[in-house]
């Protein structure tokens, strides 16, 4: 009985071959394109789909709609040291699409860390909204079946 329940739970929801054509990112943040590409690949693979750019594969596009860093706090020397990172993007699969967005706070400690805190914030935000993306991928596949 448990084997039947377990096999039902891990049965893949997506079936088919997908090709991630491109990540459209008009911002000056190259790491964002990389992180969104990896997130889309992970969602497809964890849903049971395959990644291959064949002629018959479903085309996937990710487009950044909004990417902002809103200042939250200032240091005593009047420099911004805390931000709220906001991201909104759209995923198109074939003729269907869905939008996902969210925000996370992050801080810039003193020192020469460069853009490491921003990259960590992007990763945290994508982890935060990943299950929403996965749910929407499954919903699109269910709509294709029905």
Q: Find, among 116, 90, 92, the residue nearest to 31 by Cα.
A: 116
Q: Would you state the pLDDT for residue 143?
A: 61
pLDDT interval class at 15 (50, 70, 90) = low
Q: Are 85 and 71 in contact (CB under 8 A)?
A: no
The 10 Å Cβ neighbour count of residue 83 is: 21
Q: Would you state the pLDDT for residue 141?
A: 65
pLDDT tens digits, one per residue of 116-127: 888 999 999 999
**Mean per-residue pLDDT, 16-44:** 92
Q: How far apart are CA 111 and CA 35, in angstroms?
A: 25
The lowest-confidence range among 7-11, 85-89, 95-99, 115-119 is 7-11
Q: Find, among 38, 44, 46, the residue nearest to 17 by Cα.
A: 44
Q: Would you state the pLDDT for residue 111?
A: 54
pLDDT tens digits, one per residue of 123-142: 999 999 999 999 888 777 66
Q: Would you state the pLDDT for residue 67?
A: 95
Q: Find, among 109, 138, 110, the residue nearest to 43 by Cα.
A: 138
Per-domain boundaries in the chain: 15-145
Fold type of domain 15-145:
Double Stranded RNA Binding Domain (3.30.160)
Tell me how far CA of residue 104 lies from CA of 29, 60, 62, 115, in angstroms: 16, 26, 20, 16
């Amino acid at each position: 009985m448990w084997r039947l329940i377990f096999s039902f739970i891990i049965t893949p929801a997506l079936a088919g071959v997908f090709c991630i054509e491109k990540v459209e990112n008009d911002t000056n943040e190259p790491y964002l394109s990389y992180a969104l590409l990896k997130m889309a690949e992970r969602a497809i693979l964890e849903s049971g789909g395959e990644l291959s750019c064949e002629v018959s594969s479903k085309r996937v596009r990710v487009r950044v709609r909004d990417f902002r860093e809103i200042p939250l706090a200032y240091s005593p020397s009047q420099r911004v040291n805390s931000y709220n990172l906001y991201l909104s993007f759209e995923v198109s699969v074939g003729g269907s699409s869905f939008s996902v967005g969210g925000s996370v706070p992050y801080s810039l400690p003193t020192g020469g860390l460069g853009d490491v805190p921003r990259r960590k914030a992007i990763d945290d935000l994508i982890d935060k909204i990943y299950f929403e993306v996965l749910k929407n991928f499954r919903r699109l596949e269910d709509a294709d079946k029905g």
